[in-house]
Structure 1
């Protein structure tokens, strides 16, 4: 019997790869999107268009309780990559409340499994973004639904900020020896659906096949550009000062910097998986106007 899987956050970088992976494995896919037109356009950083990959379109706002109430009716599984990235929304409204509303719908309609993509070390990071995610993880683990919680350290798409600095001639790092193994969206999508298919509840820290120091990330970007390596080290207190100043004018931007800063100051390395390499990714985008 063909499984029907609901995907929340289907038009994001990771969500598009998840839809493609589910379609490839023969699932019927119900995709939650705000705009079908946007969903059919190619996604960012190699993520695919959803053209021909979706069986059932659920078009609406996840912040609308009436829209979400029966969103899980008739589905077997839920995969949520839903979360605030660059939107103006409050992470507590999206990462926590909207995901929780989808979970409650799944509970009412007897959904078997709920796979949620979180972030590695989220329960330790002080950013509101990660605290909202952690609150939802706690709700999900308390639910009667079997859950798979996947914690990646960061995506290849996030690492384009390093490539952007390298394109401008210099990369700034805080602690050059702190380690991270970012992962390509296609590799993470495959890992998530493997866990969903296995059907065992649990939580996994997972990253790409290569672990880098932040110094190594910078060197990788310059190598892709075939330019001399130019790296400067910033003192950690400078980040704290920047967050304090930003918090006066834009609390949301300050919280984003708080999250990024935490990642730059702490090792974020998960179980290695996949076969996409960051150097090849950087080379493919070396000439992009990022």
Structure 2
């Protein structure tokens, strides 16, 4: 049994909950950051809870006391509560890093997203990669993981397919390999143990966007109907949103629409199949 003590920030999120489970199964002592007392109910076998707000440095004092490793999945997809990407993805993680440095934490892993280093002009990545720069220059042992889209993100295809038709921008041939949260949690821990400083991570199956559309329609038992919209319409939507809405509105859409115009293939891991995930999601809605 490993006696290392680890802290997970972002434990209540999709990946965070899988990370807690994976680390406990491997015998680690786990502390998690939560915002409210009520969130304790989500977890059954955590060793220690720390209540604090990632955006309020004073509330984090002592969070990394006697901790060996920090895992941070902190980040917001959709801005809320008046908080921006810079407030959470950058400053929140920076606040946590300062505590880790002060307490002599041995290693810090941060989860960004695929191609974040190449897409810094997007609002979401501007904040994430600013923190990556700070982490790299801090002197602490670090591990930066850039995963592909999660299986849970692929539910957008499933929602569209429910109506019987999926709409794609362009030819639909760009490829990606989404990854299940359980598989990704294993990769996170393995990379931390190995001391690998930077890596990408995706699932074992590579799909074109057309493949994803077909898989989603098949899950609903629908005839294959895919409409391909001209790519200029994708660019036009981004332009309109940037011009007439706040980053709160356009940030996640800008990210999604930009990602749709590139191949996003990460190193392949895991054994979970997206088809099984889609079938399970459909059954939940049908029953």
SS in 2 for 1:66: helix
Matched, 1:63 2:55: yes
- Contact 1:69–1:101 (CA<8 Å) still a contact in 2? no
Instruction: Give 1:182's aligned residue.
Output: 178
Change (3 A) 1:282 1:106: same
2-structure distance, mates of 1:224, 1:169: 11
Matched, 1:79 2:79: no
User: Any gaps of 5 or more consecutive residues in structure 1?
Assistant: 42-49
2-structure distance, mates of 1:169, 1:288: 18
Change (3 A) 1:215 1:36: farther
Instruction: Give 2:208's aligned residue.
Output: 213
Q: Which of 89, 107, 110 in structure 1 is aligned with 2:104?
A: 110
Change (3 A) 1:39 1:270: farther
2-structure distance, mates of 1:23, 1:71: 19
* Offset of residue 68 of structure 1: 2.0
> Which deviations, in whole Å up to 9, do the C-alpha atoms of 1:196-229 show, x marking residues without a partner?
122x241111100001000011111112222111
Instruction: Give 1:22's aligned residue.
Output: 23
SS in 1 for 2:33: strand
Instruction: Give 2:41's aligned residue.
Output: 40
Instruction: Give 1:143's aligned residue.
Output: 138
* Offset of residue 288 of structure 1: 4.0
- Contact 2:67–2:105 (CA<8 Å) still a contact in 1? yes
Instruction: Give 2:85's aligned residue.
Output: 91
1-structure distance, mates of 2:13, 2:133: 23
- What is the total number of aligned residue pairs between the two structures? 280
Instruction: Give 2:269's aligned residue.
Output: 273
Q: Which of 148, 154, 158 in structure 2 is aligned with 1:153?
A: 148
Matched, 1:227 2:219: no
C-alpha root-mean-square deviation of aligned residues, in Å?
1.6
* Offset of residue 289 of structure 1: 4.6
Instruction: Give 2:14's aligned residue.
Output: 13
1-structure distance, mates of 2:143, 2:251: 27
User: Any gaps of 5 or more consecutive residues in structure 2?
Assistant: none
| Regions of 4+ moved over 6 Å | none
2-structure distance, mates of 1:185, 1:99: 21
2-structure distance, mates of 1:270, 1:120: 7
